């Protein structure tokens, strides 16, 4: 398997624009996690899915953030409208069990100017 795939790897956008980050989990993994990493706040869990169903989204910072998982092989994290404070590295991870090894993707570095 190619591992968790994220796209784009880098995204630069202007404040107010919509941003969509994409993730393809490892086949057969039932859990998918979205994280945000910044120097100030470290690694934060934003939301996670089990069998395509959102289980906990309490980490989503604001209504500007939304995540979907339309099928077992694809998930998106959308920010609309984006703000400079959203600049961070966003990671997607997948696992077979909720308490088990999570396989992280390479991340998307988002810069909002």
Closest listed residue to residue 91, CA positions, set 7, 21, 10, 34: 34
Q: How far apart are CA 90 and CA 26, in angstroms?
A: 17
Number of residues this chain uses to bind another protein (CB under 8 A): 21
Residue 103 CB, shortest distance to another protein, in Å, is: 8
Residue 71 binds another protein (CB under 8 A): no
Residue 99 binds another protein (CB under 8 A): yes
Closest listed residue to residue 23, CA positions, set 43, 6, 37, 40: 6
Q: How far is CA 111 from CA 34, 73, 82, in A?
A: 17, 26, 10
- 17-46: which residues touch another protein (CB under 8 A)? 33, 42-45
Cα end-to-end distance, the chain, whole Å: 36
Residue 107 binds another protein (CB under 8 A): yes
Smaller CB separation from another protein, 1 or 14? 1
Name the residues that contact another protein, by CB under 8 A: 4, 33, 42-45, 48, 55-56, 58-59, 91, 93, 98-99, 101-102, 104-107
């Amino acid at each position: 398997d190619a591992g968790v795939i994220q796209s784009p790897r880098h995204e630069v956008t202007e404040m107010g624009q919509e941003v969509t980050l994409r993730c393809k989990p490892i086949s057969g993994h039932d859990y998918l996690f979205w994280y945000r990493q910044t120097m100030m706040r470290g690694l934060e869990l934003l939301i996670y899915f089990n069998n395509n169903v959102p289980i906990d989204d309490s980490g989503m910072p604001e209504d500007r953030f939304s995540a979907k998982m339309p099928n077992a092989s694809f998930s998106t994290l959308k920010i609309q409208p984006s703000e400079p404070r959203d600049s961070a590295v966003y990671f997607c991870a997948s696992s077979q069990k909720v308490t088990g090894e999570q396989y992280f993707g390479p991340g998307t570095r988002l810069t909002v100017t």
